[in-house]
């Protein structure tokens, strides 16, 4: 084999080998987009913009972290709620309070395990207190915390701690059923 052919063969082999590492990720996620690509670090002002949804429909917001056991326990229920109600007009965002260093490691790994496909943000602020007060001044920052907003941006359901699946679904039904 000439040097040019050897180089071409090596290039093609390397391309095939590298593509085999990329493809399995998509199939393991059952068609969901890559969570690590979807995770975006946000500050308090960007959080304010996310929560300001003038007449955009109801919005479910869940604050969580990978180190929070109740958060991990309730996340499969939230994924099911997202799958069931997204087509009915429910917006859903998950906001991680993990360390910024985990945005490329623990957070996407967990989301992939959960088959999560909702938009995910990581709150990256030196002091979370202003963000907590922005969401709800009565919330002390304990995790998990779930808030359901109507189309007018008012909190119509709040759960500090693990969600009660049937209560949350009933609150969502009131919003998506009435097309607010």
Residue linked to tokens 């709040």: 158
Hey, which of 17-26, 52-61, 104-113 has the most confident mean pLDDT? 104-113
Q: Angle CA(88)–CA(72)–CA(98) in degrees, nearest 5?
A: 100
Identify the pLDDT of residue 141: 94
User: How far apart, in whole angstroms, are the C-alpha atoms of residue 148 and residue 85?
Assistant: 13
| 105-125 residues labelled b (16+ CB within 10 A) or e (exposed) | ebbbebbbebbbbbbbbbbbb
Confidence of residue 55 (pLDDT cuts 50, 70, 90): low
For residue 8, pLDDT beyond 90: no
> 138: helix, coil or strand?
coil
Q: Are 147 and 157 in contact (CB under 8 A)?
A: yes
User: pLDDT exceeding 90 applies to what percent of the chain?
Assistant: 71
**What is the torsional sign of CA 32, 64, 37, 114?**
negative
For residue 142, pLDDT beyond 60: yes
């Amino acid at each position: 084999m000439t040097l040019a052919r050897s180089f071409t063969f090596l290039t093609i082999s390397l391309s095939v080998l590298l593509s085999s590492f990329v493809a399995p990720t998509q199939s393991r996620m059952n068609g969901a987009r890559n969570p690590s690509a979807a995770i975006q670090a946000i500050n308090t002002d960007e959080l304010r913009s996310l929560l300001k949804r003038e007449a955009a429909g109801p919005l479910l917001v869940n604050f969580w972290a990978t180190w929070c056991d109740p958060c991990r326990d309730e996340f499969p229920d939230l994924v099911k709620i997202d799958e069931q109600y997204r087509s009915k007009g429910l917006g859903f965002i998950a906001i991680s309070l993990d360390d910024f260093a985990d945005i490329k490691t623990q957070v996407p790994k967990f989301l992939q395990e959960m088959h999560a496909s909702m938009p995910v943000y990581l709150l990256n602020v030196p002091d979370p207190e202003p963000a907590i007060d922005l969401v709800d001044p009565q919330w002390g920052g304990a995790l998990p915390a779930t808030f359901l907003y109507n189309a007018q941006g008012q909190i119509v359901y709040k759960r500090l701690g693990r969600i009660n699946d049937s209560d949350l679904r009933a609150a969502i039904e009131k919003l998506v059923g009435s097309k607010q």
